[in-house]
Amino acid sequence: MTLLSDHFAGVSAKRLSAVETERHTSNQHEFNGTSAMKRYLGMGRQRFLARFFYLGEDEDDRLVIDDTVTWYDARENHPTRSEYRLYFSDNEVMNRAAAEDVLIASLCRDGALVLLVVSSDSPLLESVLWLFGLPGLPGTGFETIDPSTAKSQSSSIFASIAEEIGLEIENESGDRWLDLLLDRFGLQFPSTRALSALALETLGTTINAIEAPDAALITLMDREEELFRELERKIVSDHLKANAASWSDDVDAFVHFSLSVHNRRKSRAGHALENHLEWTFFQNDLHFNRGAHTEGRSKPDFLFPGKQSYQDPTYPAERLTMLGVKTSCKDRWRQVLNEAKRIDKKHLLTLQPAISEHQTREMEDSGLSLVLPESLHTSYTAEQKSGLLTLNEFLSVVKDRQQWSTK
């Protein structure tokens, strides 16, 4: 688990207004601060290194810019009044911002500011609000939360969302497991299955997939994330040191290496989630196939009770279950709808918090039931929760169908 306070000293958010975004009618380059922001930005004039992010409606509409911002009192010479503002220079991120977009200003532990503009149409908006501990859409004035009072969050999910938006998050675990990792795997990345097995080994009997499957899954994902980041930091650091001189003359080689690091992170998480679910299903004595073909090239992640029953036309379709697995949904949830045609009601397990009501409504209308670890249900509205399943509830559904088939 991770705490927001491990990464940020203060977080404030607001919805942007027309006067703050429409450059053809306004030259405003500052935001009105609040008394709460003074607690973490200070009382005097300060200039901060700042990284501006823009998250648009899709992955092609994103931008990151390094700049500076100034925090100052516009009435510093007034004997009794103060009026703090956050001034920024003209930049492309703020030029893309529109009224009703959300601005999140957060002070990192290293003293730099992050200014994140999230389009009101971005599918990541709700997840970003969750990441920063914000309870919902902010108003038009800055609303501030104290990171020290925010509840702990899954470190693997926190890191996944941060990675998605391009925000670098330090691994706070240090080198706790490095000696074990190097002894087991040396200076190379193991297969995801091998790393998943080590995560399970290091946790031992502290997790229980029968009594508490939801908590066990999150704990396993967090531990594997911790192991992977420690090994990655060591391998990448050594590789950077060994190739720094040659990369100064071969930028393409460096870019290729950088992309390989990024792609490894993305692909590993999905396989890890499937590995830990597979262990959970074995622990609960379920019959299933992982990645079995159904029709043509269709290959659902998990099929219960398995391919043999699915291909038996006399086996009742209502006793079959399929589960798609995606660490985050986006629009990829629609892929699940085309898998296992005999099964009308499909299930999808994800680790994405706070999916929009519009999207969950679409899923429900399409016959797709969303499965999430219990701790993530609090990030959804009361209306959405009625259609969500915990992992434990999903296991009960499969167990009931399995018991019927063995009578």
Question: How far is C-alpha 398 from the geometric centre of its chain's CA atoms?
Answer: 28
- Cβ(71)–Cβ(48) below 8 Å: yes
Q: H or E segment at 96?
A: helix 92-96
In DSSP terms, 70 is beta-bridged to: 47, 87
Instruction: In whole angstroms, give the CA distance from residue 207 to residue 226.
Output: 16
Nearest to 295 by CA among 347, 338, 344: 338
Q: How far is CA 115 from CA 63, 70, 185, 192, 375, in A?
A: 12, 13, 39, 35, 28
Quick check: helix, strand or coil at residue 174?
A: coil
Which pair of structure tokens corresponds to residue 122? 């971005």
CB 341 within 8 A of CB 317: no
Cα–chain center distance at 394 = 22
Catalytic residue ranges: 310
